[in-house]
Amino acid sequence: MSASTERKNRQTARSEGSYAKDINAKKEADKKKKQRTKWIIVGIALVIFFAFAIYLNSGALYRSLDALTVKNTEVTVGDTTISAGERGFSVAECNYVYHMQYISLMNTYGNYASTLLQLDTTKPLDEQTCPLNTEGKENYTWDQYFRDATKSQLVQLAAFEAYAEQHDIKLTDDDYAEIDETIKSIESTAKENNYGSVSKFLAANYGRGCNESVARAIMELQTLAGKVQTSITDVETYTAEQLAEKYDSVKDSYDKFTYSYYLVAAELPEHEHSEDEDEHAHEPTDEAKAAAKATAEEILAKLSDGTSLADAAKAVVTDAEVKEQTDLAGSSVETALSEWIKSADRKAGDTAVVDSDTGSYVVVFTKRDNNQAPTEESGDQNYCDYVAENLLKQDVLSEWNEHVFSGIVEAYKGSYNGSSRYVGL
C-alpha cells in the first residue's frame, strides 16, 4: 500500500468516525427531546385534570350545564300574546328546586312521612316506590316524583317570567331588599351550623352546584311570579257589604272560640290475639259508651250548682284533667264538638254532654270572638275584613289561573336532557 493510499484511508476513517459521532449525538438529542415532549404532555394533562377536578368540585360545571329546557309555542289568551321561546335551567337550579320540593314535603308531614307516604329518609329516593302516582306510571319512584315536581314548577316560573315581560312587570328595589333579607337569614343558619358561607351551606343542603347566585336567581323568579299574581288581585276593590257577606260564609272556620271540656272515654274491650295477627283499633261497645255517658251526665249535674268543670270532673273521676281551649280558630275545634260549639244560638255559660265514637264530652262554652277588631297581622283593618278581602282575592286569582294562566302554561313544555342525571338527592 502506497503512502498516499494509506493517508487517504486514515482521512476517510477519521471522517467516518466523526460522522458516526454526529449521528449518535443527534439520536441522543432526539431521544431527550422526545422525553421532554412526553413529560410536557403529561404535565399539561395533569394540570388539565386537576383544573377540571377543581372546576367540578367548585360546582361551576353544574351551573353551566343545562338540565332542563323549557320551550313554548306562541300563545294568545285574552289580551296577552306570548311569543314562542326557549329557556334553559341549569343542573344547579334544578337541584335547588328539587330540594325545595323535598324539604317542603318533609316540613308538611314530618315524622308522618314514613307512615302516611311510605317515604324512608334513610334510603335513596330512586329505590323507593312513590304512592303519589296520579298518572299510573310504572315503577314510579320518589326521585321521579320530585323531578316531575321540579319540572312543573320551573315550567310555571318560565311562564310567569314571560307574562311579566309582556306586561312590563319588574322587580323593585324593595323586592331585591326582601331577597337580600332572605339570604341573610340563610347566612345566619349557615353560621349556626358551622358552614363557612351561604354557598357552602346551599351546596351541602340543596345539591350539586347550588350557591348564593343560584338561590337568588330562583328567588327572583318566585318573587316575580308573586308580583304577577298581585297585579291580578289588586285590580279589584271590595265594598263593606261584599266583605261582610264573604266573611259570614266562612266565619265558622275563622271565628275564635273559648271553651273547656272533659272527655269521659268509653272503655275498650280487652283483645286477645295471636302473634301473627295485626294490631288494630277496636271501638268500644254500646254498653261501654252508655257507661261513659252516665259518668258525663253525673259530672254535668254537678255544674248546675256553680261548681267549676275541673272540680266537678274530679269529684266524679279522681284523676280527671280538663282541657281548656282559648281563642281557638273554628277550623281547629275538635270534630265531635264542632257542631255544638259553633251553633248560632250558643251563649256564654252553656253546658252539655256531647257524645262521640270514643265516649262522651262534658263541655262548657265561654265565648265566641267574631274578629271584629284589628290584629298585628291585619294592621288597621278589622281581622274579619282582612280575611274576607284575602279570600275574595284568592277567588279572583283562581278565576285567572283557570281561564288565563292555565291556557298560557299549556303552551309550555319542559324536557330533561342528559345533564339531568346530576339532579336529585
Strand partners, 86: 71
Residue 312 and residue 186 share a domain? no
Residue 204 and residue 97 share a domain? yes
C-alpha–C-alpha distance, residues 8 and 303, integer Å: 144
Residue 232 and residue 260 share a domain? no
Sign of the alpha-carbon torsion through 263, 264, 269, 273: positive
| Residue 259 confidence class, pLDDT cut points 50, 70, 90 | very high
Write down the pTM of the prediction. Answer: 0.76
N-term to C-term CA, the chain = 94
C-alpha–C-alpha distance, residues 210 and 183, integer Å: 13
Residue 413 and residue 348 share a domain? no
For 280-290, b/e burial (b = at least 16 CB within 10 A) is eeeebeeebbe
Domain extent for 170: 64-237+401-422
pLDDT tens digits along 287-315 = 999 999 999 999 999 997 778 999 999 99
Residue 81 and residue 229 share a domain? yes
| Residue 25 confidence class, pLDDT cut points 50, 70, 90 | low
| Residue 111 confidence class, pLDDT cut points 50, 70, 90 | confident
Q: Classify residue 96: in a domain, yes or no.
A: yes
Residue 409 and residue 331 share a domain? no
| Residue 56 confidence class, pLDDT cut points 50, 70, 90 | very low
Residue 224 and residue 134 share a domain? yes
pLDDT tens digits along 57-80 = 547 889 999 999 999 999 999 889
Neighbours of 418 (CB within 10 A): 9
Q: Classify residue 29: in a domain, yes or no.
A: no
| Residue 28 confidence class, pLDDT cut points 50, 70, 90 | low
Residue 228 and residue 317 share a domain? no
Q: Classify residue 28: in a domain, yes or no.
A: no
Residue 260 and residue 230 share a domain? no
Nearest to 416 by CA among 160, 51, 152: 152
pLDDT tens digits along 143-161 = 999 999 999 999 999 999 9
Burial bucket for residue 414 (CB in 10 Å: 0-12, 13-18, 19+): buried
Radius of gyration of the chain measured on its C-alpha atoms: 38
Q: Classify residue 354: in a domain, yes or no.
A: yes
Give yes or no for residue 257 having a pLDDT over 60. Answer: yes
Predicted local confidence at residue 304, as pLDDT: 77
Residue 197 and residue 164 share a domain? yes
Give yes or no for residue 12 having a pLDDT over 50. Answer: no
Give yes or no for residue 364 having a pLDDT over 80. Answer: yes
Percentage of the chain lying above the pLDDT 70 cut: 84
Q: Classify residue 54: in a domain, yes or no.
A: no
CATH label of the domain that carries residue 354: 3.10.50.40
Q: Classify residue 376: in a domain, yes or no.
A: no
Residue 174 and residue 88 share a domain? yes
Predicted local confidence at residue 271, as pLDDT: 61
Predicted local confidence at residue 43, as pLDDT: 45
Q: Classify residue 250: in a domain, yes or no.
A: no
Q: Classify residue 374: in a domain, yes or no.
A: no
Dihedrals phi, psi of 304, to nearest 5 degrees: -70, -20
Nearest to 142 by CA among 162, 113, 166: 113
Residue 342 and residue 411 share a domain? no
CA angle 221, 224, 228 (to 5 degrees): 140
Among the candidates 326, 351, 369, a domain finishes at 369
Q: How far is CA 418 from CA 65, 91, 259, 327, in A?
A: 10, 10, 60, 55
Q: How many domains does the chain have?
A: 2
Give yes or no for residue 117 having a pLDDT over 70. Answer: yes
